[in-house]
Amino acid sequence: MKKELLIILFLTINLCFAQTSTEQIELSDSALELTKQDVIYDPSYFSIDYPNGDVPSGKGVCTDVVIRAYRKIGIDLQKEVHIDMKSDFSSYPKIWGLKTTDKNIDHRRVPNLMTFFKRKGAEKNISQSGEDYLAGDIVCWNLGGAITHIGIVVYKKSKDGKRNLIVHNIGGGQVLEDCLFDYRIIGHYRYGI
């Protein structure tokens, strides 16, 4: 009886992670680790170092969750977005009226990250099926009007087991929530993993 239970448990775990790479799990773990830090939502403009610059550790917005999680697995989105924007500034949104790049803020804007991920071939289909969103995926939402939001899909499941949870900062700090379909999804990406 114990042997059968172990086999069932092993198969269940393998099925859960069958389509998930080691890098995706590392990104998911990095995002989950961020939820242990106290961070207040602060959309202020900060002058930061380059490369590997970050806003003060106790502050941040939704994009900072993504930036910090990727940095933990060795990918500096500040640098990567800046380099790509310098190479083709005209491909990026003109929402902020800038005439050139700004390495302090460009990577901290959801529309810029969406453009970057798409340009790098990381775009995935948007669906209403929870199983299509794997640990390590990035999801972007429209919260209404021109307000956008971004978060990371992690391997922890909702109470009903139908979808993975999200690590994001929508105003209450870096938190883990069951909110994948709470807002209109406008972007789905799997980058660098």
**Domains of the chain with bracketed CATH:** 21-189 (3.90.1720)
Helix, strand, or coil (residue 166): strand
pTM of the entire structure? 0.89
Helix, strand, or coil (residue 159): coil
Helix, strand, or coil (residue 158): coil
Name the E strands within the chain. Answer: 40-41, 59-60, 138-144, 147-157, 164-168, 175-177, 184-189
Q: What phi-psi label fits residue 41: left (phi over 0), alpha (psi between -120 and 50 degrees) or beta?
A: beta
Buried/exposed 146-175: b ≥16 CB within 10 Å, e otherwise? eebbbbbbbbeebeeeebbbbbbbbeebbb
CA 106 – CA 13 distance, rounded (Å): 39
Q: What is the pLDDT along the chain (193 residues), one digit of tens a residue?
A: 555 533 333 334 444 444 679 999 999 999 999 999 999 999 999 999 999 999 999 999 999 999 999 999 999 999 999 999 999 999 999 999 999 999 999 999 999 999 999 999 999 999 999 999 999 999 999 999 999 999 999 999 999 999 999 999 999 999 999 999 999 999 999 998 7
Write phi, then psi, for 34 (nearest 5 degrees). Answer: -65, -25
Question: How many degrees, rounded to 5, is the angle at CA 180 between CA 188 and CA 109?
Answer: 55
